[in-house]
A and B are shown apart, each in its own frame.
Chain A
Amino acid sequence: MGDLVLVAVLLSAALGISLAVPSTLGRLLASVFGIVGLGILLSRLVPIGHWGFSTFFYLFSLVTLFAAVSTVSTRHPIYCAVWFGVVLLGTSGLLLLAGAQFLAVATLLIYAGAILVIFLFVLMLAQPEGGASYDRDVFRPVVVSLVGIVLAVLAAGTAISLLGTGDLLEWSAEVGDRSVGVLQHSHVFTIGQELYQKYLVALEVVAAILLVALVGAALIVGKAEGFVLGPRSGSTREQTEVPARNGVPQKELGEVTVGKA
């Protein structure tokens, strides 16, 4: 229990430093704290027997966690999106190791191939040239990273306490031979069967959700007449010129007042 507190302190120090000090030195210091914290956390876990599985698991999870910390701490939003692509690569590898072959490829196709590309489109449309002031500061990095890592370590500690009890072992022992389960050859066939037999209603509902989202997004944005495509140069402090609508020039937007009630 005490070493989980130490793990929480070290990992939140790592995350807080990487958020507060985004330079290379801060990233290096945060990596040191992070590796020590993760090492102590690892010592609480029962090692996986298979050396190949554990090598690739630690490799993928280290890449994922480093890329996740870099995603939330980088000061340029396009680089954050690229780091999130690396997170997706790591997650896809972890899913492949767990036997979810279809999901690994689906993550790369849908998440990295469609959702991330949408993010990059909107970022390039709306991001000002040069660094924006609102990208260069963060809200209370140390306190928030302490809270977030305490949340994560509480969840992880609950998972670790599962190792102590025997319930999980005896429930999972009823499953039988797991090698002919999710880690099998006719993987997509079995997923298709389950999806269309057991989960048919949920599948149709998700299809309806996607249709509604498509129509809703088009309705929300509406006509494109108010848009001036392309990034604006300069910071938000400049008076921006609102394009004239219907030939009548609109009055300019006021300055952003920040920090005042």
Chain B
Amino acid sequence: MNDVAILVHYLVVGALLVGIGCVGFIVRRNLILMFLSLEMILQGVALSLVAWGRLYNDFGGQIFVLFVIGVAAAEAAIALALVLVAFRDSRTLDVLFWTALREPGVPAPQVKSSAEGPAEPGPPKSAWPSLAVAGRKPQPRPEEEEFRPTI
């Protein structure tokens, strides 16, 4: 009975992680944060798989999770490449820039007008530490005018 209790504990935590990941995917507007929520869903699934493997004393659960991690890495590479290409065209990570791709007949998502405003200013530039200029400029040597060795 103890092993079944442990299994159910793991399944509950895994289910909550999947739920929170789904919520994060729908709610956020930043493309990369949407993808981060997807990765959280995969973590919840990994917990559930390992728990079932533990109950039946089968390594298949853990090996499935290894494959999930591998496929998640491949998916991260492709998804971030697509995000970079989208950023190159739109200069923004906002998913609302691409609302023209929605299905026909679906109304455009509404945004609270209070959110569209000037961005918060970053920290003032004087707050960044500055390094003193060090070293000296190399003096040009006459023998290098004919032949400069490659560095």
A91 touches B43 (CB 8 A): yes
For the complex, give the distance between the alpha carbons of A80 and B81 in Å: 20
Point out the residues of chain B lying under 8 angstroms from A160, CB to CB: 8, 12
A72 touches B24 (CB 8 A): yes
Point out the residues of chain A lying under 8 angstroms from B16, CB to CB: 11, 65, 68, 152, 156
For the complex, give the distance between the alpha carbons of A122 and B80 in Å: 7
A interface residues, tally (CB under 8 Å)? 119
A202 touches B13 (CB 8 A): no
A23 at the interface (CB under 8 A from B): no
Footprint of A on B, CB under 8 Å?
1-13, 15-24, 26-30, 32-33, 35-37, 39-40, 43, 46-47, 50-51, 53-57, 59-60, 62-63, 65-67, 69-78, 80-85, 87-88, 90-97, 99, 107-122
Point out the residues of chain B lying under 8 angstroms from A106, CB to CB: 66, 69
For the complex, give the distance between the alpha carbons of A131 and B121 in Å: 7
Q: Given A103-B65, A175-B56, A195-B63, A206–B71 Cβ distance below 8 Å?
A: yes
Interface SS of chain B: helix
As a 0/1 sequence over residues 37 to 78 of chain A, the CB contacts with chain B under 8 angstroms (1 = contact) are 000010001111110010001000100110011011000010
Point out the residues of chain B lying under 8 angstroms from A212, CB to CB: 74
B97 touches A259 (CB 8 A): no
Q: Given A46-B5, A159-B8, A162-B4, A68–B15 Cβ distance below 8 Å?
A: no
Q: Given A84-B36, A162-B8, A220-B81, A253–B90 Cβ distance below 8 Å?
A: yes
Nearest Cβ distance between residue A97 and chain B, in whole angstroms?
9
CB nearest neighbor in A for B87: A126
For the complex, give the distance between the alpha carbons of A232 and B119 in Å: 12
For the complex, give the distance between the alpha carbons of A19 and B26 in Å: 12
Of B2, B12, B35, most A-chain CB atoms within 10 Å: B12
Interface SS of chain A: helix
Additional A-B contacts beyond A114-B73, A135-B30, A159-B7 (20; CB < 8 A) = A45-B12, A71-B40, A72-B24, A81-B36, A87-B40, A91-B47, A100-B62, A103-B50, A103-B65, A118-B80, A129-B122, A133-B116, A138-B29, A139-B29, A172-B4, A178-B54, A213-B75, A232-B91, A258-B111, A259-B108
For the complex, give the distance between the alpha carbons of A139 and B37 in Å: 15
Of B2, B77, B113, most A-chain CB atoms within 10 Å: B77
| 28 residue pairs A–B, Cβ–Cβ below 8 Å | A19-B27, A65-B16, A72-B24, A72-B33, A91-B47, A103-B65, A107-B46, A111-B39, A111-B43, A119-B35, A133-B115, A133-B117, A138-B27, A138-B28, A139-B26, A144-B26, A152-B19, A160-B12, A178-B54, A181-B54, A182-B57, A191-B63, A194-B60, A194-B63, A195-B66, A217-B81, A256-B96, A259-B113
- A191-208 CB contacts (< 8 Å) to partner B: 191, 194-195, 198-199, 202-203, 206
Listed from nearest, the 7 A-B pairs whose CB atoms lie closest are A152-B19, A72-B24, A213-B74, A148-B23, A181-B57, A137-B115, A159-B11
Point out the residues of chain B lying under 8 angstroms from A111, CB to CB: 39, 43, 69, 72
B4 touches A163 (CB 8 A): yes
A48 touches B5 (CB 8 A): yes
CB nearest neighbor in A for B57: A181
